[in-house]
């Protein structure tokens, strides 16, 4: 066989292939990532990148079926190149930074959409306490729920007081 091969198209329902992403339709909701059984699709740095490894994709179609924006299409093929084993960034968006510590933790487009729905009262209702927690990263949410006490470990449980009675 020649040493250099281009990807070869395969018939429908072949167990190898790639995905094509419509960047204008993708909202980075990450539904495809959470449903992918082989981790062919994953989230990159700061949850703002959609990453794909072609050699992991089995063309099951779960990503395509769950996508609310119909942004993913399957393309059966086999790529014998080493690049099929490496991560490719399919989509990258601006990160949203925690309003308390400044750490990026979610796609800005997703947070903007969520906040607009909550503050605009379009189908999502949240108490004021919950609304204050939403733009915070997980660590800052825990600190806020504990009243800002940062000296305690986040999951520390106070030991139970046992009174001993003489027998």
Q: What is the number of domains present in the chain?
A: 2
**Structural domain span for residue 15:** 8-92
* Same domain, residue pair 85 and 33: yes
* Same domain, residue pair 53 and 126: no
pTM of the model: 0.72
Residue 152 lies in a domain: no
* Same domain, residue pair 75 and 113: no
pLDDT beneath 50, residues of the chain: 1, 150-154
* Same domain, residue pair 50 and 104: no
* Same domain, residue pair 46 and 86: yes
Kindly report, residue by residue over 107-130, the tens digit of the pLDDT: 898 888 888 877 776 656 667 777
CA 30 to CA 3: how far, in whole Å? 37
């Amino acid at each position: 066989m020649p040493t250099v091969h281009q990807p070869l198209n395969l018939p429908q329902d072949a167990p190898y292939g790639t995905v094509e992403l419509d960047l204008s339709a993708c909202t980075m909701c990450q539904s495809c990532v959470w449903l992918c059984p082989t981790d062919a699709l994953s989230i990159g740095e700061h949850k703002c990148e959609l990453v794909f490894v072609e050699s992991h994709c089995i063309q099951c179609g779960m990503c395509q079926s769950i996508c609310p924006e119909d942004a993913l299409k399957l393309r059966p093929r086999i790529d014998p190149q080493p690049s099929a084993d490496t991560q490719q960034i399919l989509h990258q968006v601006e990160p949203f930074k925690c309003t308390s510590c400044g750490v990026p933790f979610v796609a800005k487009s997703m947070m903007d959409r969520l906040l607009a729905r909550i503050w605009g009262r379009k189908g999502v209702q949240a108490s004021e306490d919950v609304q204050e927690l939403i733009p915070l990263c997980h660590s800052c949410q825990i600190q806020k729920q504990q009243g800002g006490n940062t000296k305690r470990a986040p999951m520390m449980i106070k030991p139970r007081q046992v009174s001993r009675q003489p027998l």
